[in-house]
Structure 1
Amino acid sequence: MKFVDEATIEVLAGKGGDGCLSFRREKFIPKGGPDGGDGGQGGSVYLIASIEFNTLVDFRYRRHFRAKNGQPGMGSQCYGKGGEDLYITVPIGTTVYDCDTDELLGDLVRADQTLLVAKGGLGGLGNIHFKSSVNRAPRKTTDGTIGEERTLRLELQVLADVGLLGMPNAGKSTFIRAVSAARPKVADYPFTTLHPHLGVVKIEEHRSFVMADIPGLIEGAAEGIGLGIKFLKHLSRTGLLLHVVDVAPLEEDPVDAVHIIEQELGKYSDALAEKKRWLVLNKVDLLAPEVQAQHCQAIIDRLQWQEPVFQVSAVTGQGCQELCYQIMQYLEAAKAEYAEREKNNLLIDPLLMDDEISSPE
């Protein structure tokens, strides 16, 4: 399946039904008076997140969506039937923007979460509403209003706990293949990964996390060189970044490779550049055992790296299991810290201002 992470669609909500002009006509009841009912409300358009979809590819073939119109009112004070709402299924992680205003309309991050993107028109009023003491037989009605029309830009940001970052051929795809069931393409030439891949890393029963592999970056990616930085948005939701570095490249210095990626991150987003990032020195199996530790330590010293560092070989599996256990512990600790912080926030009455909270005497 082709991975599509951006799409533009047009949505049109249904028009409200017109109000009815009608008078009651029954035998032996002269001048029965107005009895025209209201029109039904037009159908609205909603987006709903589903776990069954993982790309926006369907919107390449269908771009226009329209909800049903409301039916007009009828006599005997019968209201018109409302138009059926339209639900458009999108993958979890879809961000929705209004193309005309560039306004963020919503972010669908949970299964079955819905977002109203176009509200249906209101039904018109029947002549029964315009009856008065001076106008006993009104011939006035109102038309239903038109539904909202919008052009939407959908952007998919994959949901993952951990994101892999690095230069092309650093071994990111090989690593995610080694620790999960994901099977991205692996070859001895750059840019074998052309779109993001997700893999579930299972530590043990009820302990697992999701890892995302994105195409490699090169110098000038922010200006569109290579595959550019359009896939970096998929790392914005992750809780941890693994910066994978080839410790034994044929031409490029590993330290320079790290600095290039850091520069591209800064050009893309300050928030992403400041995200927690661990250094993963990959392909240590290519180094002689007697120089392996010394070579890796030299890279760490030159980088002045303060975060955790791991030495692994994605091909042989060396160090991969230990790294995954450390990731699981970090994610669980972060989750527990977040839950505790939320619990403490709930203990404070949000209606009380800071200056109203005083310590007991």
Structure 2
Amino acid sequence: MEKEEYKGVWIFAEQREGALQKVSLQILGKGRELADELGVELTAVLPGEGIKGLAGELFAHGADRVLAVEHAFLKNYTTDAYTKVVCELVNERKPEIFIIGATNIGRDLGPRVAARLETGLTADCTGLALCPDTANLLMTRPAFGGNLMATIICQEHRPQMSTVRPGVFEIPQGCRTGKGILEEIIPDLMPEDIRTDIVEIAKAAKQVVDIGEAKILVSGGRGVGCKENFSLLYDLADELNGVVSGSRAAVDAGWIDKAYQVGQTGKTVRPQVYIACGISGAIQHLAGMQESDYIIAINKQIDAPIMQVANSAVVGDMHKVIPELIAKIKEIKSMETTC
């Protein structure tokens, strides 16, 4: 394999039921930065059925070219079908960088594609950049349980592949012309190519709020003490029209569902306001929330790591501080209503 044959930046544009996943736009923004630095084209690979209408949104957020791969077998994700069409496109067109969102689908697809292409894959990246000297992709991810950050380079094989956690990069503003090159591709897919049948798509009966979309998060950790004490956090979140989340310690203790976990093994969030209650601030947790616009930490320990990254740090017992905070918010609301 000659590395010089590979050129261009690709992102995997994941859609579900005809709607683009937000992580696709997030990695599209980072792909645009990398493509501009390299002086190459940015391509979005969009498999599905009846999905070419999504191309405009991809163009508006940075794509130069969209490969709309249309087939009935691609309507719903299956490992066999998606792997086959993606690998065939990569082998034919040879991109030098291929970025995939680390969703459930991306975490299944990425390793399978990388193995078939005989290249490397850096999973769950939280940072992507180009090496100033070689223009190799520098792929950064947490390692050793999140206790340090490792930067990985794929020097010998192409494409350089990574999966990126949702919420790590911001969605670029749709400020481009919305024009680009749309290629409609009909892949050669046969029933025998697919070893699994989708019998039924079952959706969760319980509606789960996506904490990655919340503007205000009230998050609890080990210092909350018990599940019952989380009621304080829900009261505060209700007053602020926010959402309650938690650290891994709170999830492991059974105080809050894993869907609401913030951190390396949970979700990466970027709310306008993040209120950390009884959270010490281990590096694994900080990796998931330190890009929040404004961080408020409530903790008994003045030297807790969370206090060092907070914009406002309150040293005290959260069980006393939060009721006073709720009372003050209610007072302000009452004054605004009176006025």
Task: State the TM bucket, normalised to the shorter chain.
Answer: under 0.3
Structure-1-length-normalised TM-score:
0.23
Structure-2-length-normalised TM-score:
0.24
Q: Which has the larger radius of gyration?
A: 1
